[in-house]
Structures are given as C-alpha cells and as structure tokens.
Structure 1
Amino acid sequence: MGTHTSLLLKFIFMALNYRSPGFYLVAFSLVSIILLCLEPLFYAGKFSDRLYFYAQVRLAIAIILVAIDAFLLYYWSKNPHNKLLSAVITVINIILFVGGDVYIASSTMAVALWVVLRSFGMRICLIIIATFVMVESPIIYVIKRESEMDLLWREVRMCILLVLYLLLAWVLSSFEEAAERERKLAVAAAVDNERSEAARMLHDGIGQQLVAITMSFDVAKALKTTKEEDAWMEVEHAHTVATQALRDLRRWVRALDPPPAPVPEDSIQLVTVLESLSQAFASTGLEFYIQSPQAKHHLGATAGEIFQVTAREGLSNALRHGHPEALQFTLRCTDDAATLTVEDFSTSLQRSILAESEDEGYGLRSLRERAEQAGGTLHAEPTAEGFFLGVSLPLTESV
C-alpha cells in the first residue's frame, strides 16, 4: 500500500510540475465554482426547503457546466486556433462568472479572457470587457435597486477586476507563447542535428565505401594484364564493399522513415509495433529479437508512446554509432511498472567517440525528459558489444 501511495504521489507531483501556467488558472477557477456551489449544502438547516432545492439545482448545473468546460478546454489546448470552440468555452466561463457571485469564483472570467486572447487577440478582449461593464451594471442596478453611488463603485470594482484578469491572461499567454517558441527552436535545432548526422554518415560511411570501391576497380584495371587473379580479387572486394554500402543505405532509409504505427496501450500492442519495426528492416540484414511477457499488461497511452519512441531511438542510435548485426528488445512488466530495454550487438563500432562524449544527443535528451515527466527513468550506456538503452515507467493509468 505504501509503495502504491508513493508512486501515485510522485506521479501527481511530476504531472503538476510540467503543467502550463494556464492549467493552474483553469483548475483553480473550476474547483472554486464547485466549492462555492457546495457551500449552501453544508448549512441545510439554516435555509428553507425552497432555497435548499435552489442550491441543489445550482450545484447540478455548475457540475454539468464545469465538466463540459473542462472537456472543451482539454481539446482547445491541442488546437487554440479553433475559433468556434474558443467561443463556446468563453460563453460557458462567462455564465460561470455571472453565476459565481463572489470574487474567488469570478476568476472564470480570467479563463474566458485567456482563451479569447489566445484565439482572437487583445481587441476582442477589450470589447468583451467594455460590453460586460456597460450591460452587467445597469441590470444589477435595476434588479437590486442600488443607488447611483453604489452603481458607480460597482462599475469601478468591476473594471479593476476585469483589467487585472486581462493582465493575468496576457501574462499567461506570453509565457505559453515563449514556451512554444522555445519548443519550435528546439525542434528546428534537432532537425539540423539530424541533417548534419545524416551528412556525416553519408560522408564517413557510404562515401568512404564508394571511395574504396573506386580504388579497388582502379587496382583491378591496372592488374588485369599482369596479375589477373589479383585483379579478380580486387573486383570481389569491390563487390563486397558495394553490398555492405547498399545494406547500410537501406538501413538509414528505414531509420529516417520508420513505418507508421498507432500508439500502443498494452504490452501486446507494443510487441506488435516492435515486430512491425523489425519487418521494415528485414531486407537490410539486421536481425531482431523480442522478449516480452506472455500475459497482457496495460500500459496506457503515455507509457506506450514513450516506449515506442524508445524503440526507434535505440535503433537510430545503433545505426548512427556502429554497424549493428542484431538488436534485442526486452519488455518486462509488473503490477506497478514496465521496462523496455534496447541492446544492439555490433562488430564494427565507433563507441569510443560516444564514450568520450559526456553530452547526450537531442534524441536521448528529449527521451529522458519525457520519461522523467512521466515519473520514470532512463539508462543509456555503451557496452562491450554495442549499446544499451533502457526506460522504466510507473503504470499509473487505469484500464
């Protein structure tokens, strides 16, 4: 029980630690609405049956709206430029703002302004604020029959509150836009690194093999009249090198364009992905061995995607730093965690270069960050026969 609790707490901490600032605003706003609507139910004896029934209806409506809002916000976060979805979310949050009736619950207006700012821009936010101030205050004035001074102070307080919420929405949007720019720069840098790596591979690998082939043919041409047997040996050597160059080229083409596969959510689906990867490299002479538990274990989409990336990164790493003859995938599962290891076995390696470098490449660094974000660990090191890559993840998602 203690182990399960510690794993759950670690997962929650890691999940919250990597959330965007907007996540906390949305969570605070929606939870505050629920707490506000729950409050009258704790004082049932102090209210009439009619008011108590009204409180129950209000709570039910709030729960429905909050559930819809959270659902729509989840999909909106994946596509902030969906204007129809943004408009629906804005309307729902304004309704919650009006129904909140207290300052803590009115932070849903900040959510509405944040969504509008991301999708429509600052001008629409200012129009919403101006419209709300001009419409809301007179309605309250008519309903509550407040004095003109009270109406004035209400408008002043409302303007200050809305401006503060707009400032908060702008700050959050600025943070998220900056994070998005950094992510795009990191992706661009990764693409440049991959291009440089591919260029180095072509020059140092296939390029050198083509040079060796040319030299063998030159030698064979020079020896064909004097030492015919030696000339044929050079031709045979050129054929061997050409065969290896073709095999290496096929491997790199497969590595740069792996077969598409759905995200595995259990151990059986993950093994299917690994088998699909091995079939794609069947024509390259590279052998694959897969070890996995016979029983089906649920992994969840997050762990499944990370393990899928692990398999591809292990294969790509083997091709970049050596000439592997075989790769072994090993999947181990328990009730609490799952581990996928990738080991390559090579005859001609450039491991000294990798061993001397203390900096991980972008692929391994990105994979490590994703594993740690999910509460897991990554272990990577060169071995006497090749390279070892292992990722362990807690299994916290329910079936």
Structure 2
Amino acid sequence: MTTGAASAAMPQTERVYQVTDRQIARWRQLRSLVFLVILTVAIFQDEPRPGLTGRGLALLAGVVVGAAAWLAMTLRLGPRLQPWATGVCMATGIFMTAARPGGYGAAYTLAAVTMATASLPLIQAAIQTGVATAALIVTHALVGTPLESIVIWAGVMLVVLLLGTIRREREARAEQDKALAGEQARTAALAERARLAREIHDVLAHSLSALSVQLETAAALLERDRAADAAVIVDKAGRLARDGLTETRRAVSALRGDPVPLPELVAELAAGYRTDLDAPATFAVDGDPRELTPEAGLALFRGAQEALTNVRKHAPGSAVELRLEYLPEAVRLTVRNHGPAGPPTTGLSSGYGLTGLRERAELAGGTVEAGPCGGGWLVDVKMPA
C-alpha cells in the first residue's frame, strides 16, 4: 500500500466506524420509542384506564411523567440530565405499580434500569438499580403481589443490570479495537512514508548527485575550450542518467515486492567502479545463492551501493573488495577499500545514507556496521536468510 492510499484509507475507515455507530444509536432510539408507544397503548387498554378523575387522573399523570422521562433518557439530552431522567422513570414505574397493582407500570422501572446501565457510570447505575429494585420489591409487597412474582421482578432487574454491564464492556472493547485499528493504520502509513523516503534518497543520492558533478565538470571544460574532454564527460553523464532510470525501475520493482537479483546487481556495481575509476574492484560470492525477501535483498544491495559511493567520494581510485556470503541463517555483504584516505568517522555518506541504511536493515531484522579496517574502511551488512 502506498503512502497516499494508506493516508486516504484511514479517514475512510474512521468514517465507516462513525456511520455504523450513528446507525446503531438511531436504531436503539427508534426501538426505545416503539416500546414506549406499545407500553402507553397497553396501559390505556388496561383497567382501570387513565382518565381525568380519581385514580385515572393519577394514572394519566404517571403516563405523562413516565413518557417525558422515557423520551429524555432515549434522546440523551445531556450527562447532567440523564441521571435525573432515569431516576424519574424508575420512580414512575414504582408509582404506577402502587396505583395499579398487577399492571404494566413496572416496565418504566425496567426500561430505566436498562438505560442507566447503558449511559451512566457503572457505580451510579448500580446504585440506582439497587434502590429501584428495593423500592419495587417493597411496593409489590405492600400491594399484595405474590412472593413468586416479587422474586421474578427482582431477578429480572438483576439480569438487566448484568446484561447492561456486559454490553458496556463489549462496546468498550469495540472502541479500543477501533482506536487500535486507527493507530495501526497510521503507523503503517508512517512506515510506508519512511520506506518511500529511503528509496527516493537512494535513487537521488546515487544518480542525480553524480550526474550533477559530471555536468558541472563538463561545463568547466567547455569554458576552457576543451570540447573533446567535455564530450567524454557528457557521455558519462548520459550513462548515469540511464543508470538512474534503471535504479528507479528497480526501486519500483522492490516496492512492489519483486525479488532482488542480488549477485548480479552487486557484480554490476563492482564493474561500474572499475570502469568509471579505472581502479581494481573484485567481487566474490561464497555459498549457494538463494532467493531473499525483497526487503533483505534490497538492504544488502543498498549497503554495497552506499559503501561504493563513499569510496568514490573519500578514497577515489583505491582498491575495493566486495564479498557476498550465503551463511546457513544469514546473508552477509562486506565492502572493504584499501587507500590512503578513508570515509569520515560515520563510515557512510552524509545526509540520510547511514540513517536510511540502518533503518532499512533493522526493519528487515538485520544489522549494519562500519568502521576503519587495515588502513581502509569496512562496511558490513548482515541480513537474516
């Protein structure tokens, strides 16, 4: 996945989660309102019915207050109002149970307990549920409800509290999973950006920088009327440009996950050093070559490329030895130069060369070491096989 695709995928994933959460919330609100309508119709169909006189007026007041509290709970008008809404709805259920024993009034309390476990802090929801359950049991006992019914109502309240707690934990885990998925997507995007930055640096550092030097040299020769020498330099610059295109295609191929023909590429680097500088450069392969992962193969190739770039810069013309060793559990590349001058203390070119090479190797599980060795410099890259 490219950087652009990764960065574009993250907001899209988050939008999918947001739409899904909104749909679930709306469905729950609609379901709650449907239950309220069914309960209200059932209460008006039961005897005695709510009315404008006597007990009917008390029942009508209970229906109105209960419906208002139910709506406030369902719409979740605010964290400060929510505890009051659930408390009033619980109290309405207890009142309706006392006003009409054996009716549907306790359903208000049951709905309030369900909403409290879903929307209130767990301790607060447990306290409200406990108080409401105790009050409902006492009310049932005072109006002469059979003991079996009282036990059933108490058990239903407890089950609702437990189910609500389980649902809260499941939703909390889902939120954590969503946050983790978003963080993983962001991490993957950053890693992909770093990978692309390393590839861009490697191609530009080893192609365009050398091309710039050649063109500057050609310009200086032309100013001195040395057209023949300038033509030779321009020819080299053209070859560097073609090599840069090849490097670009190779980098794109590696980004796509294609295997890297490591021995052939390192041999080409050694041959290019011999041709360009007219200096000795040997390359040897120990062990049986085998296919590596694209990351490991590219890290070894970039190590050889970076090392030769430093030799060209700090000890041009010195003898170079490249060795590729296929060990049982690792593949090792060493680049050693012998010359009067050596690279600086870092052992690698300035800028992102050392950082990028080490990052590349570490991401693939390998190591990079560089330092003075026998009057020259040694770069040692080891990758797991």
Q: For this structure pair, what is the TM-score category when the shorter chain's length is used for normalisation?
A: 0.3 to 0.5
Tell me the TM-score normalized by structure 2. Answer: 0.47
The structure with higher relative contact order (CA 8 Å, sep 6+) is 1
Tell me the TM-score normalized by structure 1. Answer: 0.46
